[in-house]
Amino acid sequence: MTEHLPLKQIAAARTLDGARVAAEIKEEVREGVSEFVRLYDAPPALAVVRVGDDAASLVYVRNKIRTSEELGFRSEHHALPASTTEAELLASISELNRRDDVDGILVQLPLPHGIDDKKIIESIDPAKDVDGFHPLNVGRLVAGQADAAPCTPAGIIKLLKRSNIEMRGRHACVVGRSNIVGRPMAQLFLQHDATVTICHSRTIDLASVTRHADILVVAIGRAAFIQGEHIKAGAVVIDVGMNQLTDSNIIDELFDDAEEVARRHASFAKRGYILIGDVHPAQAAKKAAWLTPVPGGVGLLTVAMLMRNTLHAANRRRAS
């Protein structure tokens, strides 16, 4: 049986290795896909739908397609023009729902103005909803009966478990209440017997709440917003945020380690920006026992869990 480490004794290693856990999950999925092909003579298939020219969406979609192909899935990239109407998008999804050779459907968000995200998500067959955003799947999650939880929070749970970090009885605080991260994260913590607090933009005196958290998950989309004063000494801090920092003057203030500062400046010179989480890295490193890096932490787990959800959806469809 796995021995869980009490939080106070885990100060030595500071980085929670999202890359290692993501690689493990992908390896398990690769084996699952091989077994699927052996049983059914065809690979499980993921259809990714993207509307318009959002640059970040294109990067995310390419990454998902590339990973799915590396693991042996068949994938389809449906790139629809920005002029696509809601009715046209609904018709495309209806066709993917109908097709027996498509196991998972993912519609990349955000969608262009004029298309109602909610209506689109509700139109996806819940059995093919690999993001876990359909209201039926959200309801199952809340009831503790989910087949597939949203990828980012599900990946965070995997990371904590595989890093032997105990959730039972701990105070888990989630900052952010989006349907994609914050809310499902809180539900999953509840299922793992944590005592859960959810904070958001209307929370009064945020630091007075977050600094009681043994496990602090931050998903707000504000660069380096969470500072030392928000963090309990010895806490586990999971930084979900992915923000583009376009002012290189701030880099020296964000990192203590000279090598990291040099690496970030080099990255900035190449791209014109660097990726920063919602947590101030230098300040958090001084207070937390464990911390996820950005990049290289939660983002990698999200894609790995998408692959896992797709394989599970394919297996469930064949079993039903």
| List of residues contacting ligand NDP (CB under 6 A) | 152, 175-178, 180-182, 199-203, 206, 219-222, 240-243, 298-299, 302
Three-class SS of residue 105? strand
Q: Which of 17, 26, 103, 108 is catalytic?
A: 108
Three-class SS of residue 46? strand
**Smallest distance from the beta carbon of 219 to ligand NDP, in angstroms?**
4
Q: Between 43 and 52, name the residue whose CB sits nearer to ligand NDP.
A: 52
**Smallest distance from the beta carbon of 243 to ligand NDP, in angstroms?**
5
Tokens encoding 168: 């039972």
Q: Between 165 and 219, name the residue whose CB sits nearer to ligand NDP.
A: 219
64 is catalytic: yes
Residue with tokens 């969406």: 57
Beta carbons within 8 Å of 108's beta carbon, 6+ residues apart: 48, 49, 50, 51, 57, 60, 61
- C-beta neighbour count of 218 within 10 angstroms: 28
**Smallest distance from the beta carbon of 19 to ligand NDP, in angstroms?**
13
What's the CA gap between 140 and 158, in Å, rounded? Answer: 19
Task: Please state the three-class secondary structure of 198-215 as a single string.
Answer: EECCCCCCHHHHHCCCCE
Backbone angles phi, psi at 195, to 5 degrees: -95, 120
Q: Which of 17, 26, 64, 129 is catalytic?
A: 64
117 is catalytic: no
Tokens encoding 147: 């087949």
What's the CA gap between 243 and 221, in Å, rounded? Answer: 6
Q: Between 104 and 176, name the residue whose CB sits nearer to ligand NDP.
A: 176
Whose CB is nearest to ligand NDP?
178
**Smallest distance from the beta carbon of 171 to ligand NDP, in angstroms?**
17
**Smallest distance from the beta carbon of 190 to ligand NDP, in angstroms?**
18
Q: Between 115 and 298, name the residue whose CB sits nearer to ligand NDP.
A: 298
Q: Between 56 and 269, name the residue whose CB sits nearer to ligand NDP.
A: 56
**Smallest distance from the beta carbon of 9 to ligand NDP, in angstroms?**
28
Three-class SS of residue 27? helix
What's the CA gap between 123 and 132, in Å, rounded? Answer: 13
CB 45 within 8 A of CB 100: no
Q: Between 104 and 277, name the residue whose CB sits nearer to ligand NDP.
A: 277
108 is catalytic: yes
Helices (H), the chain: 18-40, 55-70, 86-98, 117-123, 135-142, 151-162, 182-191, 206-210, 251-254, 258-271, 281-287, 298-319
**Smallest distance from the beta carbon of 198 to ligand NDP, in angstroms?**
9
Q: Which of 103, 131, 214, 278 is catalytic?
A: 131
What's the CA gap between 144 and 179, in Å, rounded? Answer: 16
Q: Between 92 and 283, name the residue whose CB sits nearer to ligand NDP.
A: 283
Catalytic residue annotation:
64, 108, 131
